[in-house]
Amino acid sequence: MQDWIRVCATSELLPGESTVAWDGDTAIVVVNHDGDYYALEDRCSHEDFELSAGCFDGEEATIECVLHGSKFDVRDGRALNPPAYAPVVKFPVKVEDGAVWTRDDRG
CA distance 107 to 92: 13
Residue 100 one-letter amino acid: V
Model confidence pLDDT, tens digit, residues 26-72 = 999 999 999 999 999 999 999 999 999 999 999 999 999 999 999 99
Residues 6+ apart with CB under 8 A from 69: 81
pTM recorded for the entire structure: 0.95
Name the DSSP letter for residue 13. S
Which of the following CATH numbers is that of domain 5-102: 3.40.50.80, 2.60.130.10, 3.40.605.10, 2.102.10.10? 2.102.10.10
Model confidence pLDDT, tens digit, residues 4-14 = 999 999 999 99
The 3-state DSSP class for residue 51 equals helix
What is the separation of C-alpha 26 from the centre of its chain, rounded to a whole number of angstroms? 12
